[in-house]
């Protein structure tokens, strides 16, 4: 039962353009969502998060949008840079402090 | 900069052998997690500690996996006997806040290959 799903295994964009990574979830009890970035041979690092009481959170070039009715969130990176090339994981948790459930990840490649 | 330390980085073993992974979380982080990441999948929680107590081990295959955090600081994850399907990256993470709504800090992971 995949409760957090990232349907695109990979995404390729040109430097300077927008990268949009998508994530869908099925568990309506999830109310906190996070994005992690992972470079090869390293552990995931936290990027940005959003609570279900918000529909948008912005941090520099990174913006996360949450559509609760559609159970969908997305990560926008503008402008994309070659250093952004990594695997991006979407994750979700519930109010009870239950486990963090991760999606399968999307490999982003930003071409110079 | 404080970080989560894990060892070994790489481990190759034959099936039916025992393996152990060690993790030292960021100082002051009471919550420690062990995740398993199979290639092409997202990390999956195996066990979560709050101080020295296990708060969630529902996804830990207890017939072969064990985890301990005796003094509430560093932790060991053991697999005995290892099976081919255990080949994966084993990630340790810690957080200051209890529960998963806080940011997790991950170590670099221990990559296990079972032959």
Is the model's pLDDT at B99 over the cut of 70? no
pLDDT, position A106 = 97
pLDDT, position A94:
82
Residues A49 and A51: their CA atoms lie apart, in Å, by 7
Return the structure tokens found at B18.
């025992």
Residue B36 has pLDDT above 70, yes or no: yes
Say yes or no to pLDDT of B2 above 80.
Answer: no
* DSSP 8-state assignment for residue A100: P
pLDDT at A13: 98
> Degrees (nearest 5) of the Cα angle A40, B96, A67?
70
Q: Which residue of B has its CA nearest to A102?
A: B42
Contact (Cβ atoms closer than 8 angstroms) between residue A106 and residue A11: yes
Tell me the β-bridge partners of A83: none
pLDDT at residue A47 above 80? Answer: yes
Tell me whether residue A40 is exposed, middle or buried, using C-beta atoms within 10 angstroms of its C-beta: 0 to 12, 13 to 18, 19 or more.
exposed
User: What pLDDT score does B90 carry?
Assistant: 97
Instruction: State the nearest Cα–Cα gap between A37 and chain B, in angstroms.
Output: 11
Q: How far is CA B76 from CA A11, B45, B69, B90, in A?
A: 37, 15, 7, 11
Contacts of A102 in chain B (CB under 8 A): 42-44
Nearest residue to B13 (alpha-carbon basis) of B108, B92, B64, B86: B86
pLDDT at B44: 94
Q: Residue A97: its pLDDT value, please? A: 55
Confidence grade of residue A78 (pLDDT, cut at 50, 70, 90) = very high
User: What are A14-38's pLDDT values in tens digits?
Assistant: 999 999 999 999 999 898 999 999 9
Residue B13: strand, helix, or coil: strand
Q: From CA A77, how far away is CA B92, in angstroms rounded? A: 28
- Shortest distance, CA B59 to any CA of chain A (angstroms): 10
Average pLDDT, integer, range B3-16? 96
Identify the DSSP state of A39: -
| Distance to chain B for A3, nearest Cα, Å | 12
Considering only alpha carbons, which residue of chain A is nearest residue B90? A43
What pLDDT shows up at residue B1? 62
Q: What percent of chain B is modeled with pLDDT above 90? A: 78
Asked if A10 is an interface residue toward chain B (Cβ–Cβ < 8 A), one would say: no
The most confident of the ranges A60-64, A91-95, B2-6, B28-32 is A60-64
Question: Sheet harboring A19-25: ordered strands across?
Answer: A4-5, A19-25, A72-77, A62-67, A56-59
Contact residues, chain B to chain A, C-beta under 8 Å: 4, 40-45, 48, 56, 59, 91, 93, 98-101, 103-109
* pLDDT of amino acid A100: 85
- What Cα–Cα distance (Å) separates residue B58 from each residue in B15, B20, B75? 24, 20, 18
Q: Which residue of B has its CA nearest to A106?
A: B40
């Amino acid at each position: 039962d995949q409760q957090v799903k990232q349907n695109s295994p990979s995404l390729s964009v040109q430097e300077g353009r927008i990268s949009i990574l998508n994530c869908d979830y099925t568990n309506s009890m999830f109310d906190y969502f996070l994005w992690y970035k992972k470079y090869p041979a390293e552990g995931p690092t936290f990027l940005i998060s959003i609570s279900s009481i918000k529909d948008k959170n912005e941090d520099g070039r990174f913006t996360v949008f949450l559509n609760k009715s559609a159970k969908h969130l997305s990560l926008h990176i503008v402008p994309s840079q070659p250093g952004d090339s990594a695997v991006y994981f979407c994750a979700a948790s519930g109010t009870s402090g239950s486990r963090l459930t991760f999606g399968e990840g999307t490999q982003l490649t930003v071409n110079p | 900069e404080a970080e989560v330390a894990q060892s070994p980085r790489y481990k190759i073993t034959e099936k039916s052998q025992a393996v152990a992974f060690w993790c030292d979380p960021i100082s002051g982080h009471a919550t420690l997690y062990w995740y398993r990441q199979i290639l092409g999948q997202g990390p999956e929680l195996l066990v979560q500690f709050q101080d020295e107590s296990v708060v969630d081990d529902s996804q830990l295959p207890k017939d072969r996996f064990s985890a301990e955090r005796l003094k509430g600081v560093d932790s060991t994850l053991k697999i005995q006997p290892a099976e081919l399907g255990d080949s994966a990256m084993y990630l340790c993470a810690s957080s200051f806040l209890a529960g998963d709504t806080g940011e997790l800090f991950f170590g670099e992971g221990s990559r296990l290959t079972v032959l």
